[in-house]
Amino acid sequence: MTKDFLPISQADMKKRGWREVDFVYVIGDAYVDHHSFGPAIISRVLESHGYKIGIIAQPDWKNEESIQVFGKPRLGFLVSAGNMDTMVNHYTVAKKHRKQDAYSPGGIMGKRPDRATIVYGNLIRKVYKHVPIIIGGIEASLRRLGHYDYWSDRVKRSILLDSGADLISYGMGEHSIVEIADALDSGIDIKDITFVAGTVFKAKSLENVYDYIELPDYQEIFENKHKFAESFYIQYCNTDPFTGKRLVEKYKDTEYIVQNPPAKPLTRQEMDDVYALPYMRTYHPIYEKDGGIPAIKELQFSLVSNRGCFGGCNFCALTFHQGRIVQTRSHESILEEAKILTEEKDFKGYINDVGGPTANFRHTSCEKQLTKGVCKNRQCLFPTPCKNLTVDHKDYISLLRKLRKLPKVKKVFVRSGVRFDYAITDKDDTFIRELCQYHVSGQLKVAPEHVSDKVLPLMGKPSNEVYERFIRAYKKINEELGMKQYVVPYLMSSHPGSTMKEAVKLAEYIRDMGYMPEQVQDFYPTPATISTCMYYTGLDPRTMEKVYVPKSAHEKEMQRALIQYRNPKNYDLVFEALKLAKRMDLIGYDKRCLIRPKDKKQVGKQEKGLKKQKKKRTIRNVHKKK
């Protein structure tokens, strides 16, 4: 196997002695050959199985010639929008254009279209009428069936229909893409590849489809929010590779979308093999003149330890993409990569991260998951830890200790997110102790997201008391170590269930912490999450109970402003929010107040309002005594 970037031109192809490529991989990101980038993994996995891959990164979607670089591939086209959903990449939650694209040369925006998977798929189909097209990556994966689209504010069809593609390889596609490639190579027509786990295909009838659950049809979910919630929850309960059923979504009498059950998780050996492939570990040199690709900076000296997450946050799409079964690399695999990092010319002695979706998950949540799958209607950590949960940090502690001892390594950071509720459930405090002592640089980032016990259950997060327990333990250990280190909490505004009253409660908590968040995440309704289903339907799909949803842009601005109430720019929004919440007692000069009155007239009105409130309370108390 040649240790070089995969071909990006005819000249590169001829240099390798190839007359054609088996697959052309069209990507929305710039070409970065690093295992933190999905297209790099898929292309290298195919290469390791003997397939020839040509890369077309960020083609000019207005020019048909841009996808004809290699001519007609022998087996087909692969299409991925890249590491991020293009709409999330392009737009803020307020639907405003972002200024930078970290996955494009020099961070310049505009190198790819909105809904890149659809645009690229149709461009290819226009030029190559009958060549197989397989789409994948997070954009395709989360839109594999009918889904709510925040940017158009409507329910859209399966991306398989709108892209003109033949198959979707959803989730982490190492298993499915090789099986698809082998089937095509053996001469099976793309229309007959209906048997691969982790794929979605089109069918004209259900005559040859078996053991399936039929979802409400597309027209029903388009017109009826209750039906949408019902359909979504069936999908959510069938994301496990061991228990998941085949799902069918009808569009017309002769048009069905069929989702096969998810592919099996990778074994540890398979994970090791994937991460040992000959990645160049950086961006293609053609981007050097533009200043490189910004996204590689943090990832270049980070180590992927695991994938999958049993945390179960409702606003996260990991359940639909990577799944709830945690898969891990061996210590040997990670240490071998760490040694390679230390030899790179730009390495300064700091490993930026050792983790994955959740840093401190290094094994499945319980033993049965690897044979029987995860529980359909129960979470591992929420609302309280399951009695069968395996809580043990020994393996992760051991890995971090080994990494710390490597020559040339000065510091090993843990930045990909520590699940604090899992950490505090461990009766042995060694992990938190060593985290404080060796793996934090002044600030530890954790994600309580909110403090209201009315909002937290809708987020799939534990009660605020659990977070408080973790904070006390973290503070105590730092004091014992003689270290001054702080927690930086990630907080979210405008999540379904958050009324103005709950938003004020969060602001009061921030006041009492004496902390001013620099960054606040407004809830972003991305496809395929429980929270997005709540946002669109106003229903909790798990119970079908109604949920309050802050939807107007102005209300969202107010909730966000409350979290950053000390910012003078937010004064008017905070004042209006407090007025709406009937919390004018928080405007004044008392240390409990969030903001000060603007003038004496306002102070007078405020005092008058407080006196009225006091009088009403007194009258109520008198009546109670009577």
Annotated binding-site positions for [4Fe-4S] cluster: 309, 313, 316
Q: Are 283 and 37 in contact (CB under 8 A)?
A: no
Q: Of the candidates 61, 41, 49, 58, which has an alpha carbon nearest to the alpha carbon of residue 22?
A: 49
Q: Which long-range contacts (CB under 8 A, 24 or more apart) does 126-129 make?
A: 126/64, 127/64, 127/67, 127/68, 128/72, 128/77
Nearest to 61 by CA among 27, 95, 94, 87: 27
Please identify which residue in the block is written with the tokens 């994938």.
Answer: 307
The rounded distance, in Å, linking the Cα atoms of 223 and 218 is: 9
Q: In whole angstroms, what is the distance from residue 263 CA to residue 173 CA?
A: 8
Planar angle of CA 425, 496, 530, nearest 5 degrees: 65
Alpha-carbon distance of 415 to 224, in angstroms, equals 42
What's the per-residue H, E or C state across 570-623? Answer: HHHHHHHHHHHCCCHHHECCCCCCCECCCCHHHHHHHHHHHHHHHHHHHHHHHH
Count of other CB atoms within 10 angstroms of residue 302: 18
Give the number of other Cβ atoms within 10 Å of residue 277's Cβ.
Answer: 16
Whole-number Å distance between alpha carbons of 342 and 338: 6
Q: How far apart are the first and last CA of the chain?
A: 89
Q: Provide the token pair at 582.
A: 């009937």
Q: Residues marked as binding?
A: 309, 313, 316
Per DSSP, the residues of 187-234 read T--GGG----TTEEEEES-STT--SEEEPPPHHHHHH-HHHHHHHHHH
> Residue 440 is encoded by which pair of tokens?
């934090």
Which residues, including other chains, have CB under 8 Å from residue 491's CB and lie 6 or more apart?
Answer: 448, 449, 450, 506, 510, 517, 520, 521, 563
d(CA 584, CA 594) in angstroms, rounded, equals: 10
Torsional class of 237: left (φ above 0), alpha (ψ -120 to 50), beta (otherwise): alpha
Instruction: Record the tokens describing residue 119, joined without a space.
Output: 């645009």
Q: Quick one: how far is CA 169 from the chain centroid?
A: 18
Query: Can you name the residues that pair with 485 across neighbouring β-strands?
Result: none
Cβ pair 370, 364 in contact under 8 A:
yes
The burial class, CB within 10 Å (0-12 / 13-18 / 19+), for 135 is buried
79's tokens: 């299409």
Distances (CA, A) of 356 to 105, 138, 228, 414: 25, 16, 31, 10
